[in-house]
Every structure is written in structure tokens, then in C-alpha cells.
Amino acid sequence: MSVNGCHGGGAAGRDTYRSPLAARYASPEMCFLFSDAHKFQTWRLLWLLLAEAEQKLGLPITDEQLEEMRQNLNNIDYDMAAEEEKRLRHDVMAHVHTFGHCCPKAAGIIHLGATSCYVGDNTDLITLKKAIDVLLPKLARVISRLADFATKYASLPTLGFTHFQPAQLTTVGKRCCLWIQDLCMDLERLTRARDDLRFRGVKGTTGTQASFLQLFEGDHQKVEELDRMVTEKAGFRRAFIITGQTYTRKVDIEVLSVLASLGASVHKICTDIRLLANLKELEEPFEKQQIGSSAMPYKRNPMRCERCCSLARHLMTLVADPLQTASVQWLERTLDDSANRRLCLAEAFLTADTILNTLQNVSEGLVVYPKVIERRIRQELPFMATENIIMAMVKAGGSRQDCHERIRVLSQEAAAVVKQEGGDNDLIARIRADPYFSPIHAQLERLLDPSSFTGRAAQQVERFLKEEVQHLLKSYQSQMDVKVELSL
């Protein structure tokens, strides 16, 4: 599956701005969800669902009118709609007229009792739900690939870092589980955000349902049933009881905050990979013909992780838009939300889609260099092993204080070789050459075994993947075999 770019090449569009997200990065399925085609087809579907429910509840709407609407859901004359919008300065009414033009028998009942937000807001909610459904299996696949990686390297010792300074050993698999844990939290939050989405439903101009109450001659029960029926037809379990003209814009905050949190997770993971690539311990996939630098042919730049970091920063900033929008929705609503939401909602999902596609590709081809990792351990482990050496000497009858002083002096001498002369850490050679440590010379190899410094890392990996990851991935098993091939 190729995921880069929603549009083909050619001269068309080269003389005008096109969003890189749509033209270069995001998948076709995500681009479609935020396209005019999906938007206006959904508007027509919502008008049909409303008319079907109104007919069932007794309004004079014929089967012939409904069938005419069904036959023309995708028959959209975009040129006519554009001309109508130019004339009317109202996008919804332009499409009401355009739909009515190809459905002359149904023209009089299209949008009956509804306000613009009936199609606008409900379409946005449908789109958000579908867009999350696109992201969820992609996120699950990334977790699955990383889980396989963590299993493979669960026991491989590696130097841990705190403050990006050498710390105690961990394992390559355990470090990967730090990444997986964050992504699992994102998967759970994204699932919850999807399940918490509620339909705006059939509410009228200021959310009071007054127009529908008039249509049904004061029958409150029928108005409530209309709302319930349309909500169910649209695929939602429940609708908001209370709305203004729009659904509360806090919904957008909730959804985009989850995506922003995902962006933070991906940025952290890809930054870690970039740091490890600098250390030559771990690399993202590198194609045979790939060029790392136009001037430096030897370079293997982590460009995919860099792309993820770049786009993740953009994703994290987008949550500021709905935060500010929700805060300035005066009374029942203002229209200063519209243009902003056209940008931030689409860009957030296209960006999240891009970074997940890219991260899946990275996670499927991570390259580990055990010999480099081993060499770095050898450089640092002698210092870390000093406490073990002291304890072994005490068990052999030595004085802790005397041993501590001798190791302190030898450690400083070895550190001077490393820092001032650029040499290798020769602390162990110095200990082997010192007769004072002869009682434990035979134990040094065992005392310096890297696996003895990783604690329960391997066991933690096994338990974590079994208890916290596997069950999250069960519902996505049928979608796990999808491959991602990046064209850029």
C-alpha cells in the first residue's frame, strides 16, 4: 500500500499552493474523509436520513421522493453548487438548491425543519468518527511491530541513559517497551475519544428543536423520536441532549488533545531513535539507493524519524485552535469557528495519519548493531561494576574502606586515559595488574557480565507485553498484515 500523497503528479496544481499533507504525505483514505466529495455526499445522506425519519413519524413525504434522493446521493454538480454559493453566499443553501435540482420531486422536503448545522456539525462528527477508525488500526500496527522488536531484543543489554549521560544498563527490548507503553496509552485514549463521540442530532437553529416541534404540531414525543431515529441511522449510540446552534466545541478539544498527545509520543520515540542513530546503535530503515546527503555520501540521516518529529510538532500545536475556539463561542454560537475548524481538524488527522504511516515503516525495519552496543558497554561497565568488585573483595576477607580507596585511585587514572588521552577504559586491566585484587581475579569475568546488570528488564518485557499489550491488539488482528511502503 502506497501512502504518500492523495493526488497524482503532472502539471496540474504546480502553479498554486497545495497542502503538503494532502499532496505529499497523508494516505488516500484519510484525504478522502476531508474531501469535498465525502463532505457533500454526507450532507445528502443526512438529508435523506432526516426525510426518512420524518416520513416514518407521519409527515407527508412520499416513497418516490425518498427514492429520488437515494438515487442522487453522489450525483453532485459541483460547478452548479459553486455558482449557487457565489450567488447566495451560503454553502448549505447552495447545496440544498443543487440537490433539489437533480431531485425535483423531493426538492420541497430537502432540509425540512433543519438548520445549516444539522448537516455541517453532524457531518463533522461522522468524519471525526471515521477518521479515528482509520487511525486506530494504524496505531495498533505500530504497537504490534514494536512489540515484536521488544520481544526479539528483550535480553540484549544496552547502556541506559539518564540526562543523556551513561546510567545503569537496561535492555534494548525494555527501552522499546517505554515507547510501546506511551503508544498503548494513546490507543486507549483514542478509542475512548471515539466511543465518547455523540451526535449533534436534530436540534434546530438554537438547539431548542422549535422548528421540529412546529412540524409535528407540538408533539414532543415525536420530536424526541425523530432525534433518536436519525442518531441511530447515522451510526451513533447517543446524541447530545443540550446544544446551542452547534455541538459544544469542547468535543474538538477532546479529540485534538488525544492526537496532540499521540504527537508527543511519536516525537519522543523518533528522537530516541535519532539519538541512538548518532551513537550507531540503532538505525531506521535505509534504502539501497537512498542518499543521506548531497555533499557527504557516507551519511545515513534518520530522515523518516526527522519527518515524524517535524510533523509531530505541528500536530501538538493544533490543539491550541479548538481551545481558543471553544472559549469564544458567544452564547448559542458565533461563526468565527468555521474557517478555523476547516483547517485544524483536517490537518490534525492528516498529520496523525502521516506520522503513523511513517512510524510503521520505521518500526518494521529497525536495525540494531549489537557489537557497537557491546563496545559502549565495555567502555562504561567497569565504572558501574566497582560496587560489585568491592562487595566481592569484602566477601574474600578484604576491608571495604581499603578496597574503596584503591578502586577510587584506579578509576581516576582510567578516567584520565579516557578523557585526556582519548584511550579506552582500562580500569579492569589495572585491577588485574594490582596484586591487592588477586583474591577476585578469577571472578572478574563473571562480575563484568552485562546481563547481570540489567535486573528484571527481560522479565518486565515479557510480562508487560503479555498483560498490557496483547489484549489491546486482539480486535485489530485481521488488520495487522497491512504493509506500508513510503514513496517519499
Give me the catalytic one of 163, 294, 478, 487: 163
The amino acid present at 185, given as its one-letter code, is M
478 is catalytic: no
Give me the catalytic one of 2, 293, 451, 452: 293
Task: For residues 144 and 138, give the distance between their C-alpha atoms in angstroms, rounded to a whole number.
Answer: 10
Residues in CB range of 401: below 8 A, 6 or more apart: none
Distances (CA, A) of 327 to 93, 196, 249, 458: 28, 21, 9, 48
Is 487 in contact with 304 (CB distance < 8 Å)?
A: no
Residue 55 burial by Cβ neighbours in a 10 Å radius (0-12, 13-18, 19+): middle
293 is catalytic: yes
Is 450 in contact with 169 (CB distance < 8 Å)?
A: yes
Q: Which three three-digit cell numbers place residue 370?
A: 549489537
Torsion of CA 76, 82, 85, 90, to 10 degrees: 60
Q: Which three three-digit cell numbers place residue 312?
A: 509531530
Provide the annotated active-site residues. 163, 293
